[in-house]
Amino acid sequence: MNLKKKIKQGESRTLELKRELPSSIIIAKTVIAFSNGAGGDIIIGVDDNRNIVGINEHLVFELRDSISNIISDMCSPMIIPEIFTETINKKIISIIHIYRGSFKPYYLKKVGIQQGTYVRVGATNKNADLSLIYRLERERKNISFDTEINLDYNLNKINWLFLEKKLNKNLSKIDLKNLKLIIEENGNDYLTNAALILAGKLENCYVNCARFQGDTSEVFIDNKEFTGDIFSQLDNIEIFFKNHLMRHGEIKGFIRDNSYEIPMIAIREAVINALVHRDYSILGSNIKIAIFDHQVKIISPGVLPNSITLENILEEERSEIRNPVVARIFKELNLIEQWGTGFTKMKISCKKAGVKIPVVKESANFLQIIFERTSKEPQKTDEKPTKNRRKTDEKIINTKQEKQVEEFLKEKSIITSKDVEKMFNLKNTRAKEILTNMIKKGLIVKKGETKGSYYIFKK
């Protein structure tokens, strides 16, 4: 990118702007953070308003020597910067270019790895916690979290039926080893983290979906927590979106063509990206999906991989796979068509539909994909729900649940109360209440008695 244009865009994960040489500690922390990330540039001679003010040409060599000494004395392992000058608008600026490091984690010598490791989050330097330090160590060794052995679960913890159905084949232990879902070590077989991710067994392998009233997260209209294997979660998330996004119908010939306000292909790509590429090593953090009146946010733990920036993510078909075992399974199932094309498909499908291209943001240790809604259900946000409004909201929720049951029936032909319990994360009595109400409305009929009973569409 043109340097002048880069400066005008402002500070980012790979750019720091300074009017003059800052303190030694600020230089060292920024250099360390860049080395632990995708690399970056510190530009000296630019003020807080992104105006190029330049530096004194007589201080160029003194500045270069000072910066080299700071980095050498304060940073470990050794970091070798590239320091040079450029002239823009007849003003000299100094550029400290830091390459992406190969010996992570980098840290401040005087305080050591645990206290002195820094990473770049947005335009700031953040002190890395232990989980981030472990992630950097894995990057140095070129080991992904999903390929590591997990000693907390035995082999009998997973029923592979969910994956066998998807792959349409019985899986032998040899198959599971070839897929790197089981690893043999010292004559013993162990599950990998990938196996537990796919089966939804790790503590952070679940998704919260919510439809909020208005544009804040104060009042819920609908709230679901989807657990279970990763493919069931994906299916349930898609149904949740279809229940809460506005649908438009158009008659083409004798066929009604239904489309959603945000293309479902773009939503699906964003959700798959979150499920496949999120950082599962961040324990206690899960994927969150929020539907507001004007926006949809898909939030996943972990910032972008080092070779991908916010500037190039929507412009280039680039892929750096954080969870290669999980990604390979999705690829074999054709849930991922081609590496690096997910964001391109989001952009193209939104453009075709006349929808704004999604915005990608990094905040703290999370990645957000934000879609603008083109239409919305009217929701008042200036008052708390009254009893009558709560009853209305409950009716909306009940209607949407019934629609979801109908969608399930269209696909599967039959449904049981157990299916409804799992679909909405409800107790048996509430699941049966939904089905009973649908019977009263003449939508479905019950077949069989008590144990083994099921429900079908009323003919």
CA 459 remoteness from chain centre: 43
**DSSP for 360-371, written as a single string:** EEEETTEEEEEE
Give the pLDDT confidence score for residue 344 in this predicted structure. Answer: 82
**Which class would CATH give 389-457?**
mainly alpha
What CATH code would you report for 207-372?
A: 3.30.565.60
The count of other CB atoms within 10 Å of the CB of residue 27 is 23
Quick: pLDDT tens for 315-354. Answer: 555 567 889 999 999 999 988 876 667 788 888 999 998 8
Residues 277, 85: Cα–Cα separation, whole Å: 38
Give the pLDDT confidence score for residue 425 in this predicted structure. Answer: 76
**DSSP for 12-53, written as a single string:** BTTEEEESS---HHHHHHHHHHHHHTT-EEEEESB-TTS-B-
Give the pLDDT confidence score for residue 378 in this predicted structure. Answer: 43
Give the pLDDT confidence score for residue 162 in this predicted structure. Answer: 94
Residues 32, 77: Cα–Cα separation, whole Å: 10
The mean per-residue pLDDT over the stretch 271-288 comes to 91
User: What is the band of 380 on the pLDDT scale with cuts at 50, 70, 90?
Assistant: very low
Give the pLDDT confidence score for residue 452 in this predicted structure. Answer: 74
3-141 against 389-457: fold identical: no
Q: Which residues pair with 371 in a beta bridge?
A: 296
- Looking at residue 149, the DSSP 8-state letter turns out to be B
Assign 3-state DSSP to the chain and report helix, strand, coil percentages, each to 5.
Answer: 40, 25, 40
Quick: pLDDT tens for 407-449. Answer: 888 878 888 888 888 887 777 778 888 888 888 888 888 887 6
Write down the domain spans for the chain.
Answer: 3-141, 145-199, 207-372, 389-457
- Looking at residue 244, the DSSP 8-state letter turns out to be H
Is the bond leading into 305 cis (omega within 30 degrees of zero)? no
What CATH code would you report for 3-141?
A: 3.30.950.30
Q: Long-range contacts for 107-116 (Cβ within 8 Å, ≥24 apart)?
A: 107/32, 107/75, 107/76, 108/28, 108/29, 108/32, 108/74, 108/75, 108/76, 109/73, 109/74, 109/75, 109/76, 110/74, 116/32
User: What is the band of 146 on the pLDDT scale with cuts at 50, 70, 90?
Assistant: very high
